[in-house]
Amino acid sequence: MTTSTILQETAAGAAIEKKNEIAAPRVTRFFAGLIMLGVLLQATLAGGYLAGRVSIELHGYIGESLALVGLIVLVAGIVGRRSVREPGATLASRIGLFLAIVAAIGLGEMANHGMRDLLMLHIPVALIILGLADGLRRAARRMD
């Protein structure tokens, strides 16, 4: 193997590795994991509400706090793009995660104000949140 071949392979490997970079991997991994735990807690609280054991207001407060956590994941990606050029799909996942959290909150609020049929979309949106958060957490874990 010649020196130029080794350099070409190293450069190609670095280019592939650079394409998979993610901005603020530790922050992303921690807060995406926190969102996943929050979704699990939300499901538990919803079940508790249906069983008559838990107030639905607690479910709402935790859901609203997840919006702040989702915003942290989004801002970490935007600010981190100054130093790391993460793929556009990863930024789109961050945006989608935040918007899905906002949509879940909106659907819950509209259901509380008489549009109860929208609750059938609330759970699928929560599953979308879970999937997006897991994807971001896994991408960030590969970077550490």
> What's the confidence (pLDDT) of residue 86?
84
> What's the confidence (pLDDT) of residue 2?
64
Query: Which tokens go with 120?
Result: 């059938």
> What's the confidence (pLDDT) of residue 3?
59
Count of domains for the chain: 1
Q: What is the 3-state secondary structure (H, E, C) of the chain?
A: CCHHHHHHHHHHHHHHHHHCCCCCHHHHHHHHHHHHHHHHHHHHHHHHHHCCCCCHHHHHHHHHHHHHHHHHHHHHHHHHCCCCCCCHHHHHHHHHHHHHHHHHHHHHHHHHCCCHHHHHHHHHHHHHHHHHHHHHHHHHHHHC
> What's the confidence (pLDDT) of residue 96?
98
- Which structural domain, as residue segments, surrounds residue 43? 3-143
CA dist list (Å): 37 to 17, 102, 130: 30, 17, 9
- For the chain, residues with pLDDT lower than 50 are 7, 11-17
Give me the CATH number covering residue 121. 1.20.120
> What's the confidence (pLDDT) of residue 85?
80
> What's the confidence (pLDDT) of residue 4?
60
> What's the confidence (pLDDT) of residue 106?
95
pTM across the whole model: 0.82
